[in-house]
Structure 1
Amino acid sequence: MTTPVSTTTSSPPAPDRGAAGPTPRMSWGAPAAFLAFIATFGAAIFTSIPTLAIGDDTNTAKATGSVIGSILQNAAFVGVPLLIVGMLVGGLRRRDVGLLMPPRAWRIPLFVVAALVLYLLISAGLGALLNADGQEDSLPEDLGAKGSLVAGIAVGLAVTVCAPIGEEFLMRGILYPGLRDSIARFAPAWVAVALGALIDGILFGALHIGGSKAIFLPILATFGIILCLLYQVTGSLYANILLHCTNNTIAIAVALDWSVLGGLALWAGAVSILGLIALIAKRVEDRLPPPRARPGLGLGVPPPA
């Protein structure tokens, strides 16, 4: 049976870069990823200026400064990599950094739960090995979250909404794929995934120097590795953001001695805000012109099979 050929001339529809489909993901490689990583740290230094200006003489001031600082810092974690990588290899879309829902999206919650259980088991073992049992992270108190219920909710939302977006975009949306794709040029795919995840995890732990006690850094590095593997399995940064949000919710709720119901309320609120942000991002991208790639810079490499 033959298919009739239309004689009508028309332009083919533009591919949807924001949905799972045949359009290949743009690749940028390790040099661009590291440059974005370093530039982001440089820009993040300036995001602490409003926090310093507000001061920490009262719990209200401390919490206000922490929330504003978190918003600005994680905005830099998204904006600076977009600018740097965009200038080097062309404009990025949500698809390029994994902000898409895979064909079998119903599996994402299953992978997230499995990754969370795995992390909790490994972190418990590492905690016992490092004699971290009984150690409390002073970060919630440092952020002013213990000043009042309002302060706790405000800081809690900053930790469960802003941090997952910014840190996952920079570390797993930009850095990990760049590392993996470059390593895949001279090593098998599984080596590229493992080594890329290891480097990313170590840098993720180092990202928290100054904010968390040194004894917790190996545990945070392990969390970073697991997040890389989760991204590799699902292909969706939404899974990472959900896991990061869930983990931070548990941490902040335990640190503030909230009830299970209080923790669930914080988690539900954070997930709702994250969903709204994702919807807004999609609507904004739909109005943007198609990105233009910039070949010939030697920074993009093909992703591993």
Structure 2
Amino acid sequence: MTTVPAADAHPAPPEYPERPGSAPAESLIPPWPGWTAPAALFAGFAATLLVGLIIAAVAAPFGASVTDPPPSVSVLSAIAQDACLIAAALLFARMVAPPRPAQFGICAAPLKRSVLYVVGGYLAFLVFSFLWLLVIGQSDVKDSIADKLGAKNGTVALIAVTFVVTVCAPLAEEFFFRGYFFGALRKNGFWFAALFTGLAFGIVHVFGSPIAFIVPLALLGTALCFIREKTGSLYPGIALHCINNSVAMCSSEHWSWQVPLVLVFAPAAIVVLIWLGLRLWPDAPMDARAPST
């Protein structure tokens, strides 16, 4: 005899919680083991070191110094680091199953909510950074990005550094940290994943930014996880990251008329690179290619 279920019986809970807006449920809690988050970070930087040594070895016969590399070597090394982080995320994700864009948050985002989070998050970051530097007595600390990459003088070198800082870094770091690292840890709880991701994000900048900036950057990394959680998409975080890096780059170089150019062309370049990446990604769904309203 067939048993008819009770009318008030509750269905089994879904495998993934409902996501905000139109983002797929898999965009927040992918099936990646938590241990792969730090493992992928280690692998990414190990690969970066190896590729950096290869670049230095190839450039050495042409007179490039290892201790004071020319802008071309520094820029190529920075691009290699970003590429290695993306490759590490994809490699460790593939160990479980062929990765899909939505698992990294490459999916539509609720537009109005995303704008509010980006604007609010950036303003909160600026206020906290100002107060933090004031409290620790480092309000006058300077950070010249172009100087660190050896591109202070030379238009072509400055353009290349600007591209790396405002386009490559936001794309690669968001894809790795908020796309993979946070996603792999998310099943252990939001705050654990967000705080651990923010801490890792701050620590990895210790060699490229003044030590006084590490705490604000760790907070930014945590806030970007919050935005990822609330929108179900990586796009708002990439936008905020791009804005922050663009403003920091323009400020460090004391630019004026260049500011609107950077703020227009950097996001445009990111959109193009994401579009190209999705074109090359096998079976990328259409919902990854445009934001929702």
Q: Hey, what does 2:79 align to over in structure 1? A: 71
TM (norm. structure 1) is: 0.78
- Do the aligned residues in 2 keep the contact of 1:36 with 1:85 (CA within 8 Å)? no
Alpha-carbon distance between aligned partners in 2 of 1:124 and 1:194, rounded to the nearest angstrom: 25
C-alpha displacement of 1:163: 0.7
Tell me the alpha carbon deviations over residues 216-253 of structure 1, each in whole angstroms, 9 at most, x when there is no partner. Answer: 21121111111111111111111111111110011110
Q: Hey, what does 2:11 align to over in structure 1? A: none
2:97 is aligned with 1:101: no
Q: Hey, what does 1:238 align to over in structure 2? A: 235
Question: 1:199/1:21 Cα in 2 relative to 1: closer, same or farther (>3 Å)?
Answer: closer
C-alpha displacement of 1:29: 3.2
Alpha-carbon distance between aligned partners in 2 of 1:169 and 1:156, rounded to the nearest angstrom: 19
Alpha-carbon distance between aligned partners in 1 of 2:259 and 2:75, rounded to the nearest angstrom: 19
- Do the aligned residues in 1 keep the contact of 2:55 with 2:77 (CA within 8 Å)? yes
Counterpart selection for 2:92 from 84, 87, 99:
84
Tell me the alpha carbon deviations over residues 260-299 of structure 1, each in whole angstroms, 9 at most, x when there is no partner. Answer: x31220121111111111111222225579xxxxxxxxxx
Q: Hey, what does 1:24 align to over in structure 2? A: 26
Alpha-carbon distance between aligned partners in 2 of 1:221 and 1:22, rounded to the nearest angstrom: 28
2:169 is aligned with 1:163: yes
Counterpart selection for 1:285 from 258, 274, 281:
281
Alpha-carbon distance between aligned partners in 2 of 1:139 and 1:56, rounded to the nearest angstrom: 20
Deviates more, 1:23-32 or 1:193-202: 23-32
Q: Hey, what does 1:228 align to over in structure 2? A: 225
Deviates more, 1:139-148 or 1:152-161: 139-148
Counterpart selection for 1:46 from 50, 54, 62:
50
Counterpart selection for 1:263 from 256, 259, 266:
259
- Do the aligned residues in 2 keep the contact of 1:202 with 1:221 (CA within 8 Å)? yes
- Do the aligned residues in 2 keep the contact of 1:116 with 1:243 (CA within 8 Å)? yes
Alpha-carbon distance between aligned partners in 2 of 1:140 and 1:147, rounded to the nearest angstrom: 9
C-alpha displacement of 1:50: 4.9
SS at match of 2:98: coil
TM (norm. structure 2) is: 0.81
Question: 1:178/1:94 Cα in 2 relative to 1: closer, same or farther (>3 Å)?
Answer: same
Question: 1:173/1:22 Cα in 2 relative to 1: closer, same or farther (>3 Å)?
Answer: closer
Aligned-residue identity in percent: 31
Tell me the alpha carbon deviations over residues 127-177 of structure 1, each in whole angstroms, 9 at most, x when there is no partner. Answer: 111212111114431112311232222101111111111111111111112
- Do the aligned residues in 2 keep the contact of 1:48 with 1:69 (CA within 8 Å)? yes
SS at match of 1:117: helix
Q: Which amino acid in structure 2 is aligned with residue 70 of structure 1? A: A
Tell me the alpha carbon deviations over residues 179-199 of structure 1, each in whole angstroms, 9 at most, x when there is no partner. Answer: 221x2xxxxxxxx22222111
- Do the aligned residues in 1 keep the contact of 2:23 with 2:107 (CA within 8 Å)? no
Which runs of 5 or more residues in structure 1 are unaligned?
A: 1-18, 184-191, 290-305
Q: Hey, what does 2:216 align to over in structure 1? A: 219
Tell me the alpha carbon deviations over residues 88-129 of structure 1, each in whole angstroms, 9 at most, x when there is no partner. Answer: x11111100001112x33432232111111111111111111
Question: 1:231/1:171 Cα in 2 relative to 1: closer, same or farther (>3 Å)?
Answer: same
Which runs of 5 or more residues in structure 2 are unaligned?
A: 1-20, 286-293
Alpha-carbon distance between aligned partners in 2 of 1:175 and 1:221, rounded to the nearest angstrom: 14
Q: Hey, what does 1:140 align to over in structure 2? A: 146
2:134 is aligned with 1:128: yes
Q: Hey, what does 2:40 align to over in structure 1? A: 36
- Equivalent pairs counted in the alignment come to 258
CA RMSD for the aligned pairs? 2.4
Q: Hey, what does 1:153 align to over in structure 2? A: 159
Alpha-carbon distance between aligned partners in 2 of 1:21 and 1:68, rounded to the nearest angstrom: 35
Question: 1:22/1:159 Cα in 2 relative to 1: closer, same or farther (>3 Å)?
Answer: closer
SS at match of 1:271: helix
SS at match of 1:212: coil
Q: Which amino acid in structure 1 is aligned with residue 205 of structure 2? A: H
